[in-house]
Chain A
Amino acid sequence: AQKITQTQPGMFVQEKEAVTLDCTYDTSDPSYGLFWYKQPSSGEMIFLIYQGSYDQQNATEGRYSLNFQKARKSANLVISASQLGDSAMYFCAMRESWMDSSYKLIFGSGTRLLVRP
């Protein structure tokens, strides 16, 4: 079964507007972490934001915020005031249980965001 689901293969947004990229996850582990990465055309993976399963507040990092709805198992990324440089692939990822020493990240299939001028 898919552990991380990103249902939007592609999205468009007008420059300076906000956009929400969806991510749902599946886990029975009470302790987990959720991540968003940006991958520009160069291929590098750029860490954007992290949300822990026990965090009470939604994570924010500059123009990025994570809309964490634990009961719905969703962790949507909100980008405010989109810029042309935000055009890229965006990946949601999950890391389960700190007791698992692998700390491996499981990634979704990604959403390609295109910012229109």
Chain B
Amino acid sequence: SQTIHQWPATLVQPVGSPLSLECTVEGTSNPNLYWYRQAAGRGLQLLFYSVGIGQISSEVPQNLSASRPQDRQFILSSKKLLLSDSGFYLCAWQYLEVGTTEAFFGQGTRLTVV
């Protein structure tokens, strides 16, 4: 069966420090991968998505970047965190086929920038 791993679960980082959040998927190949951010009490905002290795699309201009060095690995990074980068970050994946397949989400990373 497919599983998605996301770590760390919580993170407190000072302003100006770098960031690296990692997401890996098991049990599937060539998935679409996504990074979402959720501000406190708000909906999910799509940040990046990837349809293949090295292919990254950005949805929102921001202080963050994403990379997909391997088929089932998706990394969210920042060189210098801002206070506004605080939030709940969720990684998700989907199959590349027509159907009713939902997006599967990781457990999320709660990032607090201080």
Contact = CB atoms under 8 A, between A and B. Distances in A.
A49 B36 CA distance: 20
A44 B41 CA distance: 14
Given A101-B51, A102-B51, A33 B42 contact: no
A52 B100 contact: yes
Contact of B34 (A33, A44, A104): A104
Nearest to A42: B107
Interface in A1-52: 6, 33, 35, 42-45, 47, 50, 52
Looking at A33, A105, A109, the one whose CB has the most chain B CB atoms below 10 A away is A105
Nearest to A99: B98
A52 B41 CA distance: 28
A103 B99 CA distance: 11
28 contacts: A6-B43, A35-B102, A43-B88, A43-B90, A43-B108, A44-B108, A45-B44, A45-B92, A47-B102, A91-B44, A98-B98, A101-B32, A101-B51, A101-B96, A102-B49, A103-B32, A104-B49, A105-B34, A105-B46, A105-B92, A105-B103, A106-B46, A107-B36, A107-B44, A107-B46, A108-B43, A109-B42, A110-B42
